[in-house]
Structure 1
Amino acid sequence: MRPATYIYLFIFLFSPSLFSQELISISDSLLHLKKKVYEFKNEGSFEKAMITLNNGVKLAESTESHKDLIDFYNLYIQLHTEYNKYDKARVYMTMAYSVLNYYNYPEGKALTNAFEALTLLENDPEEALAIIENIKSNITLEDKNNAICVNYIEGLINLKQKNYQTAQQIFEKILPVEHEFEKDYIRANTLLQLAKINYETSKFINGEIEASTALNVANEYNYPLIKIKAHHLLANIYENGGNYEKALSHFKSLTAIHNQVFTQETLKNNEDIAVKTESDFFSRILDQMNKDAIAQQQTVNISKLTSVLSSALLIIISLLTISLYRNNQIKYKTNDLLLKKNLELQIAKEEAEKAMQAKAQFLSTVSHELRTPLYAVTGLTHLLLEDNPNSSQKEHLKSLKFSGEYLLNFINDILQINKIEANKLKPENIPFDLRKVLNEVVNTYQQTAKESNNELVLKISDDIPSELIGDPIKLSQIFTNLVGNALKFTENGHVKVIADVKKSDFKNILVHFEVQDDGIGISKKMQTTIFDSFSQGSEQINRKYGGTGLGLAIVKSLLSLFGSEITLESELGRGTAFYFDIDFGISKTTQEEPEKVKTSLVNDDFFIGKRVLVVEDNKINQVITTKILAKKQMSCDIASNGYEALDKVHENQYDVILMDIHMPGISGLKTTEEIRKFNTEIPVIALTAISLDESKDDFYAAGCNDIITKPFKPEEFYETLAKNMINNSVSSES
């Protein structure tokens, strides 16, 4: 036995972390290490399993136990495949094959081949199945441990190939499991695979039973990876059966286990130990190669070799000296250049920051100034709709109301287009009716279509569910731009809006959208830049048709939020067609109409006689707010600035205060702070056009109870008033 063997024996036999202090044989040491690897692997301790494996390989190498060495390499492969680290598994597979090339161990080779088939499963399942068939036809597996592993992998491959009957027969033959080290672990995994087969073949009751049994075994012996897989499968089974409460419970359980097992620290430690182990492997290989090289060099003439090496060394030193000198010269010049460039970049950075601040201030001002007149437009429109207009006026007023609301959202998205590029703006995920959204867009443009003698047609597939999960506002903006563009460049023709199902399951639906026209078309040259900001077909087109050239750029930016891309087909004089796909969720329940949900809080009698203080400096806004309050028979006082508001709150009792923020004298926030010094109970609601640089947190910090953004929907306005007045009365009683 070599000297190194005694050293390794001493380490492994007397290490308190792995073995007792009594003297045991090398064979027992190797067997004990294998057992510990299985235990650590099954309980999810990747790092401990890797350390134990590394020790096992060292001991097997030092004692030239080739069979055990191959077994440890196969354990490396098995560990990494269970964690889906196939690239790492192939590294150890190469090591196993290198030993198998000169050591005959058929069963070990069969297991290595089986694991190779497993790594090929995703990309080449046919080849994987061929490898398994070759193993079965050429080798009789006497070792029960190896036989079970090969059969289990064969079952996985057939399951992946959807050979459900064959896979089921294979897995059922494995039970009851007779494995020396992981009988219960394989039993739980086998039950889990049988549950998957039943799930895939719609035998959900059987699947539930087997998955639950697998979960019980995993809980009893603490197998985290199996727990995660079992919870996930049970969640899918219950969700498919409509038992969403149980499905959610299992999803929460698997998330909790996953977060506990796969922490950032654990993942980092796993990666570090994997890299270190590979490094140890390659270091040992290099050491062996160096030893071989030294042995060969002993047969060479030492003096001649020394002479050659000395000459080579002198040449290398000379070259290195020259290289270092040149590198130092280059380094000095480069450092000087970098200092100058850094200074230039710092100046450019400061200029860019100033420009961004100026842009933000400009957008903030524009935002506020546009919202103020929009409040008048939407408010007056609502009041006119409440005055029982005739049917033709009513349709026009509804279109005006929709356009006003759209314009507000349009302004918001224009102000936040820089957030899209910075990935800060995310689409909403709320229930909505796709047909309603598209009909509103089309109805808005029907009058425009008539003026250009165009026919505007909407075609929506009957297969699209009545309620989807997505962002209706941004979707409306996309179609408003596309339909508006199509009508602008089309006369005496047709514009079609089409929505059809491209792919669907019980959770999601991929909808294919098209907007087609037979207008003037777009040239091949302009198709490459048509989605750029401020891009128009040509200067002549810009003069004739007008527009900012932002429409398609906004469409492209908004679609990027949905993970979608827009494409077009066009020919001059023959029209244009725009295409894109969006993935929506499918709502499980029918959402109540928003108005019903909101007005269910109180009835109209609640508002009668309520007294409101409106703090607002704009005369038109005073009139509109007063009339909207009067619709519910509320009385109100007007304060044109903060000082008047403070006097009125001192002198009178109010149920609620509507506070504008931007006023002459003292601001609405300062006024609210002063009110809170002597009255902490009265609800104060900020009624304001929030600008880009304002934070809602500042409003609440000043003492506001709630915020209503101008312009608003009257239904939401009344709901917010009622909510705050009710909350105040409840707190007063308590």
Structure 2
Amino acid sequence: MKDITAFYEMKEKAENAGKAKTHFLANMSHEIRTPMNAIVGMVELIMREDISDTVREHVYNIKSASTNILGIINDILDISKVESGKIELVEDEYEFASIINDITNMAVVRIDEKDIDFLVEVDSNIPYKLFGDEIRLRQIIINLVNNAIKFTKKGYVKLRIESSKINDNKVSLSVSVKDTGIGIKQGDLCKLFESFKQVDTRRNRDIEGTGLGLAISKSLVELMGGNISVESTYDKGSNFSFTITQKVTNYKGFAQVEGDNLEKNILVYEEKYSDKESIRYIFDSLKLKADYCSESSIFLNMLKSNRYSHVFASYKFIDNYKDFILKMNADVKLISMINRGEEYHILDNVTYIQKPIYCLPVASILNDENISLLYSKDCSDNQISFIVPDAKILIIDDNAVNLKVVCGFMSQYEMEMDTAFSGFEALEMVTKKKYDIIFMDHMMPDMDGIDTTKAIRSLTGEYYKTVPIVALTANAISGAKEMFLANSMQDFLSKPIDSKKLNTILKRWIREELKIHPRESRLVKNTPEEDKSIIKLDLYGIDHEMSMKKNSLDIEDYIDILKVFLKDGKSKVDKLEYYAREELKRYTIEVHAIKSSSDSIGAYALSKQAKILEGASKSGDINIIFDNNTEFIAEYIKILNSIEENINRLRHKRDNSYYNHKEEISKDELNKTIQDIKKALDNFDSDMAIDLLNQIKNTKLDNTYEKIIDKTLELINIFEYDEALECIGEIS
């Protein structure tokens, strides 16, 4: 006999310590995510403002750093759940294509600063719909791709996914991520999947990361019943691979070329060997006949001797040989393969596809499907698919900063927004007004989001039982979404808010009859219908029509961008000469900013000049700068002057045109509005003050009053409330 009481006491202490750690990390997750939500949200709102390219670059870096912090928080939470045995799979039906699209978009962003290629080789016969934990599968692949990108400085990172049928209900997925990175020593391979471990730390000291990604991936693969392995050669690269089983709900291949389209005859021009082999894999997978070449003379000979239905080639190649190709075969379809970061202009009768290319977009082209084939590069993409000016929305959060952030995201939908700081306040508001959707914070004092939701559902009337309530929370713990859905909420939106997820939720829950698609019905902003003809531009050195077409801008949006370009240019043009002589690093930053902003407005020649000067500055070639800088500045000034002349001309025409359409305002009404503005400023309610100022600005006013209002608005925007009060007081 042996007394094992001490053993069980130690076991119980260890289990309690594990529970305490998990509970602590869960609470810390929320506490850290709340301020991080404010940071990420405010940064995205700043990026929507009219700011210079230099400021935008700084703000984007803040956002990237914040996103990295959130990634670390998620990793720590995941590894803590793994260690405590709390991590679990949440299986559901999903479309395989969505995983590939997400991973491809993510990788394009991650390699943006690196001279490497991301290649995607995915078997087109992988079933269209699978059943499993889509989120965890995506997490594993992204971890492996991120890891490969992190340790690869040149060459490529290649993702390959293949499948094999097990039976009528299951398929085996084989995933590999191969890179040409720094590789791993054989003695370090056994340490790779340990938590908080990064091998060869002296060599990799400049590589950021917690060392948790591979450990989490290994645990998740094993939880799915699979296994993960790695092969590596030091200084040459690595290959991580894993195999898992997924259930199948639809065996049709996720990327298929249909019917007669299989008979297409295709010619591919690709100079880079690795890209050509990946493209070959794509067409072989789709069971399509294709010819390949990497020399222009061979390409032209092949074009003469064969009749091709489609030609895939680089943008520069098609730009150079488009007329010749069409002369040889007027019916051929041209597909321009855009390299990451490549500058290009829209050519007529050319389809654009951005690398990395894989089987789904290629199949879409050959099936003549009308979809976007250019991946979004920026996680701050703010395009919305509709507006809902007649919709009423209630946002509940006990944190004032969070409320401002959420309202900022919602404002682009032009809906009527109300806010509440507590569950009790929200309850009172929903009894007075019927909202189309309610966003409910979870963690609130006194009455949390779940209790408030239950209280709303208990009110008498069908509306209170069915009004869509969406949880707003920083709680990222597994099962949170299920908890909210089980407590009478319809959906779940995590903080920090993702624009695309918000758009999806609003699209899902707001009634269809309330939605207006802006591009279909939008008139030119603030312009009477009969006066649209006054907006005509005659700009020196700028192809504004090409820029508007390339960036999907209407004339008013484009003019707004011109105003920002003009304001930014005036602030820096006088300093360029000094920076070129005295501060080369600052000169590099400024010409880099001019390069991208010039391209965005269609000043393509100026952008190319800036690019040459940027390259010379980075390499320290002072002679090129001295020889070209004076001419560059002179051209820059001409363009700025041309923009200013056009804007002033339009402003003068509009002033005369708008005045006839403005409403009269009585002296009493004007005085009352001025008093309301003063009251708003006394209460530091800048939003109310700005709304009231804009209301009277759109009435028939004396020019002196208009200048006072403009000055007051400027002072409010820089938070000079006392000066704004004094300024608006000049109207009497």
With normalisation by structure 1, the TM-score equals: 0.43
Higher normalized strand content (fraction of residues): 2
Greater Rg by CA: 1
Which of structures 1 and 2 has the larger relative contact order (alpha carbons within 8 angstroms, sep 6+)?
Answer: 2
Which structure has more helix as a fraction of its residues? 1
